[in-house]
Amino acid sequence: MSSAADIVHDLAALVQALAALLETKTAREIPNIARDLGAQPQLAQGVDALGQVLGEIRAGAVPLRRTALDADALVALLGCIPGFVNGIGAATDASGDWLARLGIGLGDAASAALQVSGPLRQVSGVLDMGAEVAEGAVSLLAPAEWRGLISALDHLSEALKALKTPAPTTPASAMPGAALSGG
């Protein structure tokens, strides 16, 4: 089964391959063929329509990338909280023990501290489990893969726009065999 990261990565690879295809020598002849056939307006219209679709796909991918990055950052912050809460529990225990050892009638401080630190440790455990679930959810968003897809979409869009411009024509005298046809 493919993960979301695999899917986004493979989409980026597909888009990159399409851009590479449009940059081949053969594909660069499309504008010349359209010119020769008198179909430049139709080609331009098709390129514009495809460019608009790519723009809409990109416009949808950018917020998804931002959401994935924000979720990743939130999970990173959430990952710090269980240790912090556990540390507060440990500090509470240590404070209770210290107050009890002072020998000034604060012996109940240790048991009071345990009444506070026990629930804190439980909360820490629950938060730790929540952080693990959140990490799994963020991995489904594939935050590391979106930049590659957006970049590939931009590249494909530029390669597509290049199809609207015919390549410079080569004069007949510069063509191989042109001298033979004149005579």
pLDDT in tens, the chain (183 residues): 678 888 899 999 999 999 999 999 999 999 999 999 999 999 999 999 999 999 999 999 999 899 888 988 888 888 888 888 889 888 988 888 887 787 777 778 778 888 888 888 888 888 888 888 888 888 878 888 899 999 999 999 999 999 888 766 655 555 555 455 444
With beta carbons less than 8 A apart as the criterion, state whether 12 and 148 touch: yes
User: For residues 119 and 134, what is the distance between their CA atoms, to the nearest angstrom?
Assistant: 22
- Residue positions counted in the chain: 183
Query: Which residues touch 30 (CB under 8 Å, ≥6 apart)?
Result: 43, 163
Nearest to 73 by CA among 126, 2, 128, 141: 141
With beta carbons less than 8 A apart as the criterion, state whether 147 and 91 touch: no
Strands (E), 37-172: none
